Amino acid sequence: MKASTPVVLSMTGFARVRREADTAAVTVTLRTVNHRFLDLRWQLPTELEDLQPELEKRLRGQLKRGHVDVRFVCERPGASAAARLDAGTLESYLAAYQEISRRVGASAPASPADILRFPGIFAPAAGAAGEGAGVWAALAPAALSAALEELQRMRAVEGAALAADLRGRLDALAAGGEAIAAQRPAIEAGLREKLERRLREWLGSASAPLAADRLAQEAALLAERSDISEELTRLEAHLAQARGLLAEGGEVGKKLDFLAQELNREVNTLCSKTTGASAAALLVTDLGLGLKAELEKFREQIQNLE
């Protein structure tokens, strides 16, 4: 996969690759799920332990976030028949077993089933181990690179599906914002009517004339506290920025999560500024609740993006 390709990557993926040469084989398995940071969990055989720094560098070069299980298995296809019991290793294990039993007061000997689980009990035919170790070390980096390529392909496919879903939710959020904006004239008229009624009550007479300057002053204060134009403008800007991030691709999960928080803040402010019993205010409250529900789904999906 080319690094410049504008794709959105899911943090969930799986890949398994096997590479063989001569009498040795290496199988690499990668499993990834969402995680706040990059968390690598290794299952590496002894033969490849010295390669871990190099292998980890390759992984960190392509993966930025997620919990990653990395498993390597080294094999010698067709060499099992040449394996033989390593008597010296077995005697060492049995001596240690007897000493531990003596110290803890146990007398039961090791069973054959126990012995078969001892690491290193079986040794390959002469020369096979050294030859295999060298080939394993040569195969491991190439196998990991192939597994990473397969993993990234799968994550890109899932990421594309997630991005399509997120774009649909952004469209729904934009439509909700437009519906709220359409209620602004009715909301402002209702606020003015409410203000006039309260001022008449304060003046002690429902029929008393209102001073134009007093009404203008009170209306200006109420309009400042209740104007939602800035929130609508910021809502639109955040939605445009989110679309831009999805089009840009790459590591966008954290940025989109931050934008989701900002969107939620704007929606909360919209709802708090348009409270009231008027039909327009009730409609805006209903639209705001719909936006919050859509935002929650949006944030849930974002958690799966790198």
**For residue 239, what are the domain limits?**
159-302
Residues 134 and 239 occupy one common structural domain: no
pLDDT band for position 18 (50/70/90)?
very high
Residue 35: inside a domain, yes or no?
Answer: yes
Residue 93 is predicted with a pLDDT of 78
Per-residue pLDDT at 188 exceeds 80 = no
pLDDT band for position 123 (50/70/90)?
low
CA–CA dist 81, 303 (Å, integer)? 49
Residue 219 is predicted with a pLDDT of 61
- Output the six-digit token pair for 57: 């560098």
Residues 24 and 130 occupy one common structural domain: yes
How confident is the prediction for the chain on average, in pLDDT? Answer: 83
Q: Higher pLDDT residue, 208 or 164?
A: 164
Q: Which range scores top for mean pLDDT: 13-27, 68-82, 216-230, 264-278? A: 13-27
Chain segment 217-274, per-residue pLDDT in tens: 666 666 666 678 889 999 999 999 999 999 998 889 999 999 999 999 999 988 887 7
Residue 101 is predicted with a pLDDT of 77
Write down the pTM of the prediction: 0.71
Residue 270 near residue 226 (C-beta atoms within 8 A): no
pLDDT band for position 110 (50/70/90)?
low
Average pLDDT over residues 41-50: 92
Per-residue pLDDT at 287 exceeds 50 = yes
Residue 175 near residue 35 (C-beta atoms within 8 A): no
Which residues are registered as beta bridge partners of 24? Answer: 21
Angle (nearest 5°) at CA 181 between 298 and 221? 115
Residues 98 and 142 occupy one common structural domain: no
Average pLDDT over residues 275-303: 88
Residues 167 and 232 occupy one common structural domain: yes
Residues 213 and 146 occupy one common structural domain: no
Per-residue pLDDT at 33 exceeds 80 = yes
pLDDT band for position 127 (50/70/90)?
very low
Provide the CATH number for the domain around residue 189: 1.20.120
User: How many folded domains does the chain comprise?
Assistant: 3
Residues 224 and 297 occupy one common structural domain: yes
Residue 2: inside a domain, yes or no?
Answer: no
Handedness of CA 113, 117, 118, 122 (dihedral sign): positive
Residue 4: inside a domain, yes or no?
Answer: no
